Chain A
Amino acid sequence: MLQATHIKSSLCAFLLGACATVLSAETMSADVARFEPIPVFSIYPPLKKGSSADEALASGRVVNEFIPMASPASKPWRIAFLFPHVKDPYWVDCTYGLISEAKRLGVAVDIFPADGYDDLISQLRMMDEVIAAKYDAIVISPISQTANNPAIAKARSLGIPVFQMANDSTSDDLTIKVTSSLKGMGIDTTQWVIRDAQKRGLKSINIALLPGPSDAGWVMGEVAGTREAARKAPIKVNILSIKYGDSDLIGQSRLAEELLIEHGNNIDYILGCTDCAPGAILPVKAAGMHDRIRIVAYGLTREMINHIRKGEIYAATDVMGVSQARVVINSAVNFLEGRIKHLPHTILIKLGMVDRKNYANYDYSVTTAPDGYTTVLTYMPNKDSGK
């Protein structure tokens, strides 16, 4: 059903996106990155209250479409962004997407990172502060799927639209949710493994998972996706083992060693989270199994591209952080400008897949910041208007 929806909506979205691109091209300055219309699934209500993205995807009206570059704003709207942190490349890439788009759109952006996923309280306080500071819109990447909901409700009640980006939330007070499907990551990654196995002529494969911490929402999504893909696979896919653990390199290496000790001779593929998969490289090499065991990652980073180039990791799913950022700020501006007639409940950025075949030609501008980019957390259009 998902596939059918994709095909129906894709043509329409493409046309719309092409028009938007032509219209907005003249207004862009030379130094602002242009981007192609971004393929997304837009999910429209009616939906159950408190739905997650994956629930919405499952139960909502899903439109396969492209999000084009929005026209610059008519006024320098102030938009606050609440990030869990900016300590890993994903969120840094997101800041790149936001700031570059803020420049293009001519809106003010302030990014307020908390100190990490254990720092919900700071995010709540920042939310409170940005509400008090009367930003025109708030974009939150909530640390908690539920605990941020009262703050979101409060902003909404005070007339401030709140958008959600990347991290999922169950709040019904959000204006638009922009994310990618966590389950989709699991599915896409596993489907690549299945296709690869088929190419290798394998009728049955054994896989092991290093998904990350067991209690994290994204881990659960990934595992659920993998399970679903394995179940629906044309070949037999056995999940031999799932080793949960914090996503640090040393911890994951140890877990990988355990996997190899327990099932070393039977494992065909190891699927790991962005920070987990690199942890398996050395143990596999050390066990002399790098020819047989293929490591695949649930996420893409700069480091991951190197691993793919070296053949240490075979493929990685791309959640397209930069694209997510672009979509969310474009959506916010469009909303503030009153350009959106029908609000989607959720916009899911379609995932990309990088492997040894396409890594050389892949468009990384949709997923990472360019080389030499240093994190910028604020942008004021007035300051840069002279440029």
Chain B
Amino acid sequence: MKFPSVGVTRLKTRLLLGAILIGVVMALATMLAVSWVISEQYLNQSKALLENASRIVEENLNERKIIQLNASHQLASQKNLGSTIWYLGQYAKEDANAEMLFVTYQNLVKNINELGHVSNISRISIYDISGHLITFASFAKNQELAGFVERSPTPYFKVAQLHMGGELSRQNLREVSSVPGVDLEFNGPLPSKDDVHYAAMDGMLEIESYVPIMGKKLDLVTRKQEIKQLGLVVMARQLDQTFVDQISNLANVKTNVFTSQGFSVGNLLDYRIPDLAGVPQPSNQVIASNEVVVSGEKFHQYLIPLHTNEKLVGTIAVLNSEKIVQKNTLEMIGILALIATSCLFLILPFGWYLANSISQPITRLSRIFRDIASGKEFAANELSGLNYRQSDELIELTQSFIGMHEVVNQKIAQINEINSSLEATVQLRTNELQLANDELTKLSMRDALTQLPNRRMFNDRFDYASAQSKRTNQYGAIIFIDLDNFKPLNDQYGHGAGDLLLIEVARRLTGSVRETDTVARFGGDEFVVMLSKLEEEKSDATAHAATLAEKLLTTLCEPYEIVMTSGTGEKNVVHHCTASIGVVMFINHEASSEELLRRGDAAMYQAKEAGRNQVRFFEQHD
């Protein structure tokens, strides 16, 4: 038997490969799982970031509204502002005291110019109670304008470019017919309450506030001074790039501001119209969130609608690029992969050592087993080679194996011994069996009492004699013998005496015929003798048979001395007995055995009937 050593080598390789494979698969699975978890986390973080951004936007807007309202209140509640705008509205028309009028304008414009700069306002307009513009300051980045309105002959603006702390002078004033975002007349009835709302102006979204200027006014009927509205302060602050930068920096997101026409300002210039795709129920009333693609880049977005009187004026979108999520995820996977690879490299020598610690003893073991298998004595040092700690189990295994081998050898020797003894016994038993078989055959073919052939053997011999007769054409004869006076012996002395008599009858018959003839007992006191190879002539043969039959008759009728043993001792009985004999001749196959016996039986009965102790031949009556 061969043990391929390659198999052991493969085991080592397999162990190593298996370790590497499992390691790699585990690492990959871990990386996948971790990257999924991380990407989910980043996704959630992204959503949280946008939620936070939305909150910051809302807080920022509210803060702006409060600041703006505060600034408006500060201006509106300035001492005598109501009187001042009344004066400017009234006296500007009358052209009275131009110097005082101008100084008043100068002071007021200086005032709002400073306030606007300090509060980062985009535009301040002051209207009188009739809705006529009195004065304004506009703080557009490219052009900071401030001035007032001349109302005659037709209203026009007198404006000057004013920086922080600047003042109107007759030199810097120039006349213009319009100023962007500043209306000569307030559009609609003058609001009587504080209001802050969103508005769109020249593609920019702005927070616009109305704060009424209140002051004492004489009621013409009651002639009481009552607090009444005297004018209106309109302030506007644009949601400009500063706002966008502020939100983007605070919330770490991209921010776009849209008017209802589309993009206004923002840091995603390619995102022109708010995209509500995928929002379950697009609604302008609540913050919507979805995913959008801008210039091929995916973003998570939150859309914050801005309303004025339930009408959508604009939208602020805060967006977080999925790229960042992907980048962060990939970074994390990269780190994990690095760790996994490092671990793998650390594990490899250990795996090598482990594989060797298993494969080397196994190799040794396989050599030991091979030696044992091939019947050789294995080298002792092979076992000692296993003698290190890691292969304790393997030594045990080997020693167990050797022990088992010895026991098996002993068992085999014992089996061989048992085998050889078994063979002798089998031979003995076979012989005994043969003898028994023979005896059995004998028993089945002969009468047990007299050892004479029984009817079955007789039939065999008849078949043989019949066939012989056919071949030789010689007659045969069957002689039927029935003892007369046999039954009284049995009745008187028992069956034992009868049996002894029958044995004696068998001896006398056998002694009276040729060896080639057959004497058979058919049962009870019936005996049959078959004579074969008689003469070819029937008469000769019949004479021969008659002679013999007579001889038998004679032999049989001689007295029988029977010694009977019993508890009381021996007893001699002499019994006289005769025979009635029927003879029938046969040749060839002219009649069957059964027929011939019936005929012989019939002839014998004739002899009985004729007075016993006689011979009768069967006579065929044609």
Interfacial residues, chain A to chain B (CB-CB below 8 A): 78, 110, 112, 115, 119-122, 124-126, 128-130, 132-135, 146-147, 150
Contacts and interface: CB of A to CB of B under 8 A. Distances in A.
B53 to A, nearest CB: 48
B83 A125 contact: yes
Nearest to B81: A121
The 10 closest A-B pairs by CB, nearest first: A129-B218, A122-B83, A121-B87, A125-B83, A150-B96, A121-B83, A125-B86, A133-B220, A122-B80, A133-B223
Interface in B415-450: none
Contact of B218 (A126, A146, A150): A126
B104 A150 contact: no
Contacts of A132: 218, 220
Interface in B288-333: none
Contact of B217 (A78, A129, A135): A129
A124 B218 CA distance: 13
Given A112-B218, A133-B218, A128 B86 contact: yes
A120 B100 contact: yes
Contact of B84 (A112, A121, A126): A121
A128 B218 CA distance: 10
Contacts of B94: 150
Contacts of A133: 218-220, 223
Contacts of A121: 80, 83-84, 86-87, 104
Contacts of A120: 100
A107 to B, nearest CB: 13
A125 B223 contact: no
Given A129-B217, A132-B220, A133-B218, A124 B87 contact: yes
A126 to B, nearest CB: 7
B90 A128 contact: yes
B92 to A, nearest CB: 12
Interface in B213-235: 217-220, 223, 225
Nearest to B96: A150
Residue from A110, A120, A121, A129 having most chain B Cβ neighbours under 10 A = A121
B223 A78 contact: yes
A379 to B, nearest CB: 12
Contacts of B104: 121
B224 to A, nearest CB: 8
A147 B97 contact: yes
B464 to A, nearest CB: 175
B91 interface: yes
Given A112-B225, A124-B87, A147-B100, A130 B79 contact: no
Interface of B: 79-80, 82-84, 86-87, 90-91, 94, 96-97, 100, 104, 217-220, 223, 225
Given A78-B223, A128-B90, A150-B96, A119 B83 contact: yes
A133 B220 CA distance: 5
Given A78-B223, A129-B217, A147-B100, A124 B79 contact: no
Contacts of B100: 120, 147
A333 B79 CA distance: 34
Contact of B223 (A110, A115, A122, A124): A110
Residue from B91, B220, B223 having most chain A Cβ neighbours under 10 A = B223
A346 B209 CA distance: 52
B218 to A, nearest CB: 4
24 contacts: A78-B223, A112-B218, A112-B225, A115-B79, A119-B80, A120-B100, A121-B80, A121-B83, A121-B104, A122-B80, A124-B83, A124-B87, A124-B90, A125-B87, A125-B90, A126-B218, A128-B90, A129-B218, A130-B218, A132-B220, A133-B218, A133-B220, A135-B223, A150-B97
Residue from B83, B84, B86, B217 having most chain A Cβ neighbours under 10 A = B83
B99 to A, nearest CB: 10
B531 to A, nearest CB: 187
A254 to B, nearest CB: 27
Contacts of A125: 82-83, 86-87, 90
B127 to A, nearest CB: 16
Contacts of B218: 112, 126, 129-130, 132-133
Contacts of B217: 129
Contacts of A110: 223
A276 B186 CA distance: 49
Contacts of A112: 218, 225
Contacts of B82: 125
Given A128-B86, A150-B96, 10 more contacts: A110-B223, A119-B79, A119-B80, A121-B86, A125-B83, A129-B220, A132-B220, A133-B220, A147-B97, A147-B100
Contacts of B86: 121, 125, 128
A284 to B, nearest CB: 37
A135 B220 CA distance: 10
Contacts of A119: 79-80, 83
Given A124-B87, A132-B220, A133-B223, A115 B80 contact: yes
A129 B223 CA distance: 9
A128 B82 CA distance: 13
Contacts of B91: 124, 150
Nearest to A380: B223
B63 to A, nearest CB: 34
A132 B223 CA distance: 10
Nearest to A150: B96
Contacts of A115: 79-80
A146 B97 CA distance: 9
Nearest to A130: B218
Contacts of B225: 112
A142 B237 CA distance: 41
Contacts of B84: 121
B372 to A, nearest CB: 125
A122 B104 CA distance: 12
A38 B87 CA distance: 38
A121 B83 CA distance: 6
Residue from A122, A125, A133, A150 having most chain B Cβ neighbours under 10 A = A125
A327 to B, nearest CB: 24
A208 to B, nearest CB: 34
A365 B219 CA distance: 34
A218 to B, nearest CB: 20
A39 to B, nearest CB: 34
Contacts of A129: 217-218, 220
Contacts of A134: 220
Nearest to A148: B97
B17 to A, nearest CB: 98
A135 B84 CA distance: 23
A124 B220 CA distance: 16
A382 B455 CA distance: 181
A194 B370 CA distance: 152
